[in-house]
Structure 1
Amino acid sequence: MSTPPTPPTDWPGPTTTGVPSGTVLVPSGPLNLRTDGQDVSGLDIIGSVNVYAKNVVLRSSRITCTGPGFAIRTFDSATGLLIEDVEINGDGETDAAVGHADYTLRRVNIHDVINGLSLGTRTTVVDSWIHDLAQADGAHNDCLQTSGADDIVVRHNRLDAYQATTGSPMNSCLSIQATADQTVRSLLFEDNYCNGGNYTISLRPDLAAVNLVFRRNTFGRDYRYGVIARPNLPGITWGKSNVWFDTGEPVVT
């Protein structure tokens, strides 16, 4: 496998994601957010963030999570979480940056986690960068994972599953592991740059899916087997607007 080309500035990267330049951060320990509408900003958080309230905003902050589990986790009472201009560093040990449902990410820089995001119901990820996943024994490293969820939007992100320093493609940029009792419905995946993975888009053979749309995405070639596993499964729409980064030609499945 070759070293992937550097994506142009059309996609998110180090200068357009994470804590805005010039932001002064105040040291903080782990947080348990229980107040509806709480606005948290400008923190350098060591540890995890647990969200129990509605319409919480976490912005312009850095989270360094030094253990297993999630760097940010929403619990059942939490809806409408907004994570904006945040850096999440998993320190090579954190299972995933964010889980599970009812959240929106904007301009977030995620790295050194075993997996990027757990996409539950009503999740949106835009203008964000997931890269440098942390290899761990027995792990299936994915930038994004989902099963049993509705209403997911993944738009204009840079998903770098390929680990250039080791030559490992990792497992996938997006893994959809939905079975008959965990159907994924209404997933829109558009305008993303994706590179790496055994399959860049991983779909299980017994996938249960309704209205999963892939369009206008751009793909690198640092995968092991292919861009998408089983693109003709029921419920999958794969548009001709999905193209190769190096040629601009359609990815033929």
Structure 2
Amino acid sequence: MFTRQSNPTPGFIPLLAALVLALGSGSSSARSAATKHSLLPALSMGCGDYVSCGFPSAVNTGVLKGTTLKPMSGGADGINITQDGTVIDGADITGWINVSANNVTIRNSRISTTGYWGIMLAEGYSGLKVLNCTIVGVVGQGADNGGEDYGIANYGGPDVEIAYNDISEFAHNFAGSNGYVHDNYMHDMQAFIYGTGTDYAHLEDVYDGGNDTRPLILRHNTFLDQVTGDRGETAAVYATDDFGPLSNVTIDNNWMAGGAYALYAGSRTGNSTNIHVTNNYFSTVYFANSGFYGPLGAYDPQGSGNVFSTNVFADGPNAGQLITP
């Protein structure tokens, strides 16, 4: 779990993760637009990057080609959705979306935000689906000292689906401890000073702080964190026990690169269970070891139900080499 302020004020940061860092279904047209899940055979990939390897990219995520978007403004307080079953489709949204309702679908739309987030699902609500959207934080104009904290923030759940989206220019492209996150392209993290302090916000494509037994599934995504350490690099995926035990997390068949470590997947102190890390590809496009220090920052091999299997370097001199915790 992670905490937030209901009505953030300028200079206040709703996310606490950086302070503890130690160094259902969419429309048929939306689903057909992206590549199917395809498990690339380890050790014999035969391709050189996430695009040629069939992972999500700018060409197969985001707003569907040929869509004519209709302008929609969020106004000073953003767009507030309070009606169950609301559908937003084909909108060009300037602002951010606050969802306080069940079974809301936002699809095939572009969201350009200067708030703390692009889309936020409030606590106590479920069933949000975000499909084939392009979600962008406007660099230098966000509510958090010029930056935007979350592309999508899930305070609710559990039956949340985030799929086929192109999300960029946030400190955290997705923040939440449950849901089904698949076939997304998350990239180009935005570096900015954290609140009223002097340090840069720590950056992750995915942040899960634990304290939630509901499952989080990350499957067939591209996660890229290009930022260097002096500007807040953290991880492509950061899942740890910051706020309580980490459990029931599946990280399967993703392409990831960057961060201090590319992946944090549990606890160093045995405070994680049922963490499955399988069939992932760690790229060296930013750093020789995938992350600056290496591919894996935290994982407990002894945790009950934990599995770490068939994770490999995707490229570089060790392409195809198995990674072990």
Q: Fold conserved (TM > 0.5)? A: yes
* In the alignment, structure 1 residue 97 sits paired with structure 2 residue 97: no
1:1-253 residue pairs with structure 2 within 5 A?
6-7=49-50, 8-30=52-74, 31-67=79-115, 69-92=116-139, 93-100=147-154, 101-102=156-157, 103-121=160-178, 123-137=179-193, 138-147=200-209, 148-149=211-212, 150-163=214-227, 170-179=233-242, 182-202=244-264, 203=266, 205-206=268-269, 208-221=271-284, 222=287, 223-235=291-303, 236-239=306-309, 241-246=310-315, 247-253=319-325
* Counterpart AA for 2:298: R
The SS at the match of 2:233 is: coil
Residues 86 and 103 of structure 2 are in contact (CA less than 8 Å); yes or no, is this contact kept in structure 1?
yes
Q: Which moved more, 1:151-160 or 1:138-147?
A: 138-147
- Measure, in 2, the Cα distance between the counterparts of 1:243 and 1:6: 14
Q: How many residues align?
A: 244
- Measure, in 2, the Cα distance between the counterparts of 1:229 and 1:75: 30
- Measure, in 2, the Cα distance between the counterparts of 1:53 and 1:104: 15
Deviation per residue, 1:93-131 (Å, 9 max, x gap): 21011112322111000011111111223x111000100
The SS at the match of 2:109 is: strand
Q: Which moved more, 1:92-101 or 1:125-134?
A: 92-101
- Measure, in 1, the Cα distance between the counterparts of 2:301 and 2:148: 32
The SS at the match of 1:229 is: strand
- Measure, in 2, the Cα distance between the counterparts of 1:136 and 1:233: 35
Deviation per residue, 1:195-215 (Å, 9 max, x gap): 111011125544621101000
Q: Percent same amino acid among aligned pairs? A: 23
- Measure, in 2, the Cα distance between the counterparts of 1:29 and 1:208: 44
Residues 178 and 207 of structure 1 are in contact (CA less than 8 Å); yes or no, is this contact kept in structure 2?
no
* Counterpart AA for 1:244: F
Greater C-alpha Rg? 2
Structure 1 residues without counterparts, runs of 5 or longer: none
- Measure, in 2, the Cα distance between the counterparts of 1:84 and 1:124: 12
Q: Which moved more, 1:6-15 or 1:104-113?
A: 6-15
- Measure, in 1, the Cα distance between the counterparts of 2:245 and 2:150: 21
Q: How far apart are residue 163 of structure 1 and its match?
A: 4.1
Residues 209 and 234 of structure 1 are in contact (CA less than 8 Å); yes or no, is this contact kept in structure 2?
no
- Measure, in 1, the Cα distance between the counterparts of 2:270 and 2:260: 17
Deviation per residue, 1:192-248 (Å, 9 max, x gap): 000111011125544621101000000012221011123335434211x11111222
TM-score by length of 2: 0.70
* Counterpart AA for 1:228: L
